[in-house]
Amino acid sequence: MNFEREWKDQLYQEFARIGKCLSSPKRLELIDLLAQGPKSVEQLAKITGMSVANVSQHLQTLYESRLVRFNKKGNFVIYEIAELSVADFMVSLHRLSEKQLAEIRRLKTDVLHEHAIMEPIALEELMERMEKGGVVLLDVRPEDEFAMGHIPGAISIPIDELEKHLASLPADKEIVAYCRGPYCLMSAQAIEILKRKGLKASRLEEGVHEWNRYATKA
């Protein structure tokens, strides 16, 4: 075997480490969650419905592929993505998968129909309307995720607290809600709550990472 062939084999073997690591649906979900901000193993277990042991095992696999890192805070182990390029990669994976796989498009359509949500507002339109002051942008993720990063101009009201804070939202403006991205349903739930109270509301499908990529190109 010549040097070039051996080098290529070793190179693609290393690339395959990432591919094998991402072959688990649960590990993909964990990366998506950590892209929103650092979380403890216990938090991740609660959100995903997995046991702490299973979450720890998946995180170890992600750590071995250098996709996440961790530190200890008291008795808790806190994980986060290794760098922002991991989040960018996940955005690209989502978009490619939705483009190539009809089943993903069907699943999205089904859930939007279930929540009686019309076509989401586009990023370009949102940016234009925010500049004119015509909308209120509502981030319904947990407060710690909002603190880690959010779309400029957004206000934070976590989905679990939305009912209690409806009176603080202006009735004369449209409320645009967003959460963790295209496959997060907290914003869909928020739209239902807002509309039940007679408020004009729309859903932004994209999250912070999608916004950042769009704003960089704009």
Question: Cα 107–113–115 angle (5° rounding)?
Answer: 105
Residue 116, φ and ψ in degrees, nearest 5: 55, 45
Residue 82 DSSP one-character state: S
Farthest CA pair distance, the chain: 72
- Cα 218 from chain centroid? 21
**Beta bridge partner(s), residue 121:** 204
Residue 79, φ and ψ in degrees, nearest 5: -105, 155
State how beta strands 76-81 and 39-40 pair: antiparallel
| Catalytic residue list contains 184 | no
The catalytic position among 30, 90, 179, 191 is: 179
For residues 44 and 30, is the Cβ–Cβ distance under 8 A? Answer: yes
Active site residues: 179
